[in-house]
Amino acid sequence: MLAEANIVALRGWEISCIALWAAGMWLVFRLGADHGRRLYLGLYGGASGLAFWDWMLGNPWFFDITFDDRFVTLFRVDGLVEPVWAGFSYGFFFGICGLLAVHHGRWLDGRLGAWQYLVIPVGLGFLDIVIEGISVGWLDLYRFNYRETYLWWGVPWTNIVFIVGAQMPVIFLARRLADLVDRVPTSSPAMASVSVGGGPAPPASGAVKRDLGWLPFWAALPIAPAGIYVGAFITTLLLQRLEPWTPVR
């Protein structure tokens, strides 16, 4: 049985996850302009729709999570719940990183170059151990049903593999899409002067000018789900080999 967490900590965690998601949505509109805003909205929207992915990954064959039954439930399928906060946390974690990588793309290229696609995901993987170490190891809000040898502060170290495998394609595809959007001549001189990636864009050449409309949004929408698919596939192969789950609860 899961230890009963402090109800104040439980409700505070739910509110914090929703508040972080809302802050990320504010950044979408604060940092983006025109095509950039639509691209950011697609990235964040795609990540915000990952709640059903999270439900699948919480099943016994992957994370094997037991949640505190006092969480507000987003939906229940086959007896397994998806808490409201978990969907919002996925939206923020997998949406904000791609968004900021695009917005600060010129800076990342100058400081890290191609290493950004490894350094950032690895850092995020270890950051997840710290964050979930608080929610699992300290607050007892939910539990990973893994054997102790696979847990750091109650969190599977295999989560690092999952997050690296998921965030690498998210950041890479988001950056490449932003580069493509920057190269398309825009519909006004003002829009042509600022790039999606946060730096000056090459001046639009020739007489052909196109308005991309909502194409950046639709192109960015599947990026986060694609990243989750890659991360889940890689981690599934690892978990199948390790079989880290507790045989009896």
- Average pLDDT score over residue span 37-62: 94
On whether residue 223 sits in a domain, the answer given is: yes
At 196 the pLDDT is 65
Distance CA 96, CA 168 (A): 14
Query: What's the domain count of the chain?
Result: 1
On whether residue 215 sits in a domain, the answer given is: yes
On whether residue 67 sits in a domain, the answer given is: yes
At 209 the pLDDT is 47
With bands split at pLDDT 50, 70 and 90, how would you rate the model's confidence at 126? very high
At 188 the pLDDT is 52
With bands split at pLDDT 50, 70 and 90, how would you rate the model's confidence at 207? very low
Kindly list the distances between the CA atom of residue 18 and the CA atoms of 15, 81, 88, 122, 200, in Å, as whole numbers in the listed order. Answer: 5, 18, 6, 25, 34
On whether residue 248 sits in a domain, the answer given is: no
- Average pLDDT score over residue span 71-80: 92
User: Which positions ≥6 away from 18 have C-beta within 8 Å?
Assistant: 84, 85, 88
Distance CA 76, CA 91 (A): 19
Q: Is the pLDDT of residue 203 over 60?
A: no
- Own/partner contacts of 49-52, CB < 8 Å, gap of 24 or more, are 49/91, 49/224, 49/225, 50/87, 50/90, 50/91, 50/94, 50/224, 50/225, 50/228, 51/75, 51/82, 51/86, 51/87, 51/90, 52/82
Q: Is the pLDDT of residue 36 over 90?
A: no
On whether residue 13 sits in a domain, the answer given is: yes
Higher pLDDT, 112 or 208: 112
- Own/partner contacts of 212-215, CB < 8 Å, gap of 24 or more, are 212/35, 212/38, 212/181, 212/184, 212/186, 214/38
On whether residue 249 sits in a domain, the answer given is: no
> Residues of the chain with pLDDT > 90: what percent?
78
What is the extent of the structural domain holding 238? 7-242
On whether residue 247 sits in a domain, the answer given is: no
On whether residue 192 sits in a domain, the answer given is: yes
Q: What is the pLDDT of residues 211-245, one digit of tens each?
A: 788 999 999 999 999 999 999 999 999 999 999 99
